[in-house]
Amino acid sequence: MRTTKVLCLALALLASMAVRRADEPHVARASITSTADLADGKVVYERKCEVCHFSTSSEKKIGPGLAGLMKRAKFKNGMVADDGHLRRVIERGGKDMPGFRDSLSEKQIRDLIAYVKTF
């Protein structure tokens, strides 16, 4: 009887955690980023982002500096600083930034996000 109660409590806890995770739209799936992925992300950054954004400073260039971007609570536009919102900005653009949804592949965006997280 006691084992059944403990098992039921454990299953209820797991079920509540699964429901909570489904309600969080910007929870990134676990992934492993390789050195090659980071190198690819650096190439994308150098070709598409570096002209407007510093990687080693938070100072504004044309757009905001990206140093420590993912360590901040929020982006300068007020969005929570997480992978999902960074992806959204890369794909759709922002105030003075063009979107790159049509010019970058899914892998390039994923690699770029991984690379920006190293700043």
Domain that holds residue 78: 31-116
Q: Is residue 16 a part of any domain in this protein?
A: no
Helices (H), 45-82: none
* Alpha carbons 23 and 81: distance in angstroms, whole number: 18
The pLDDT value recorded for residue 103 is 97
The enclosing domain of 91 has a CATH number of 2.60.40.420
pLDDT digits (tens, 9 = 90+) for 66-76: 999 999 999 98
- Token pair 């098992």 is found at 7
The pLDDT value recorded for residue 95 is 87
Query: Is residue 29 over pLDDT 50?
Result: no
Q: Is residue 4 a part of any domain in this protein?
A: no
Mean pLDDT of the chain, nearest integer:
81
Q: pTM of the full predicted structure?
A: 0.70
* Alpha carbons 89 and 102: distance in angstroms, whole number: 13
Stretch 20-45: mean pLDDT: 70
Q: Is residue 98 a part of any domain in this protein?
A: yes
* Alpha carbons 103 and 101: distance in angstroms, whole number: 6
Helices (H), the chain: 2-22, 35-44, 83-92, 106-116
Q: Is residue 44 a part of any domain in this protein?
A: yes
Q: Is residue 77 a part of any domain in this protein?
A: yes
* Alpha carbons 75 and 6: distance in angstroms, whole number: 43
The pLDDT value recorded for residue 25 is 44
State both tokens at 13: 């806890």
Q: Is residue 40 a part of any domain in this protein?
A: yes
Q: Is residue 60 a part of any domain in this protein?
A: yes
Stretch 54-81: mean pLDDT: 93
Q: Is residue 1 a part of any domain in this protein?
A: no
